[in-house]
Amino acid sequence: MAAGTDTAHHTDLGSLAGDLYGPYREELVAARLLIPLGVRGLYARGGDFERVIERFDALVTEAGAPFAAEVMRFPPVFARAHYERLSHIRNFPDLMGSVHTFTGGEREHRDLLEIFDKHEDWTARLAPAAVMLVPAGCYPLYPTAEGTTLSAEGRRVDTEGFIFRHEPSDDPARMQIFRQREFVRLGTAEQALEHRNFWLEKGQELFKRVRVPVEAVVANDPFFGRGGKVQKAMQIEQVLKYELVTPICSREKPTAISSCNYHLDTFGSVFGIRTPDGEPAHTACVGFGLERIALALFRNHGLRLADWPSEVRDVLGLG
């Protein structure tokens, strides 16, 4: 934890063993930073929480400004047909969010309500809609570039959107739905790697400026099942993804608040995105998990914005 960190306003992370999910969540709720919505890992965001997210988001915008990336803001759902071309259903089926709706007529509606009123499972009467919740920040982007050939400069895209992960948890940093700000690079392997490496450095610099101590580690995603172990080993061995981690509710299990990911030509191949030489494009992205970053800031500087160190307030433009 950074020197000068205020611990008077919240549970002291250093003094406790084990996880602090419960106590820290209660403090966040008491401070009206998070408002529970009756499902584990689901919260409304209070005014100060949202303000911190907006201000950190603006800091990221500033850091990315020199690249003049194209801006795209994604809605929380994307095409089921695009989801079906990705490997998410193989690797993370337990995290998916499939959207279903009612497509029947009046008779089917009467049947639906009869089941509903008997408190039986009415959801079996629904049909899959053409959309799924977005499981990763950059997934909706690649299909929009389908069948294109990039220029020699490639592309840089600035994205943001809500990400859904079905993983009910008491850890306030493990929300079921949260915003991810990303910069995505499409181009050659060299361009993609350069992007990932640049942001790995730049991200550490940003967190240093707001006094959130981070450590860069090789990432270790929760691939599903026994087959997932092989995927996990491959991911680590190829050193494709780094995460910046910081203690939020636990020193032993620090939380990833940002990640830098090199996807090889996975998305370029699936969506036929090519470099000028006709090869599948390589892609990389940096993602900032905005809710987790806000939680890390409140963890390090206290639950009241007015008490934050003036240097941090200045960097974030908190006035």
Give residues 242-281 in contact with its own copies (rule: CB under 8 A): none
d(CA 301, CA 311): 11
Parallel, antiparallel, or unpaired for β 155-164 and 70-73? parallel
| Residue 210: other Cβ atoms inside 10 A | 23
17, with CB counted inside 10 A (0-12, 13-18, 19+), is exposed
Tell me the angle at which helices 189-209 and 47-64 cross, rounded to the nearest 10 degrees.
Answer: 130
- Please answer whether residues 112 and 125 qualify as being in contact, where contact means their C-beta atoms are separated by less than 8 angstroms: yes
List binders of its own copies among 191-220 (CB under 8 A): none
Q: Which is nearer to its own copies, 141 or 312 (CB)?
A: 141
- Select from 71, 152, 230, 233 the one that contacts its own copies (CB under 8 A): 71
Block residue for tokens 């089926």:
93
Mark the segment that binds its own copies (CB under 8 A) among 4-12, 147-155, 224-232, 244-252.
Answer: 224-232
d(CA 262, CA 202): 16
CB of 70: closest distance to its own copies in angstroms?
7
Mark the segment that binds its own copies (CB under 8 A) among 118-126, 184-192, 203-211, 235-243.
Answer: 118-126
- Select from 64, 137, 143, 187 the one that contacts its own copies (CB under 8 A): 143
Contact string 12-41 vs its own copies (x = CB under 8 A): --------------------x--xxxxxx-
Q: Which is nearer to its own copies, 226 or 252 (CB)?
A: 226
List binders of its own copies among 121-140 (CB under 8 A): 121-123, 126, 128-131, 133, 140
CB of 270: closest distance to its own copies in angstroms?
14
- Select from 144, 169, 220, 238 the one that contacts its own copies (CB under 8 A): 144
d(CA 22, CA 163): 24
Q: Which is nearer to its own copies, 21 or 102 (CB)?
A: 102
User: H or E stretch including 35?
Assistant: strand 34-36
Block residue for tokens 């599903």:
224
List binders of its own copies among 72-101 (CB under 8 A): 72-82, 84, 89-90, 93-101
Block residue for tokens 């990932």:
196
CB of 208: closest distance to its own copies in angstroms?
28
Helix or strand or coil: residue 165? coil
Sign of the Cα pseudo-torsion (19, 21, 26, 31, in order): positive
Contact string 153-182 vs its own copies (x = CB under 8 A): -----x---x-x-x-x------xxxx----
CB of 167: closest distance to its own copies in angstroms?
10
CB of 38: closest distance to its own copies in angstroms?
4
272, with CB counted inside 10 A (0-12, 13-18, 19+), is middle
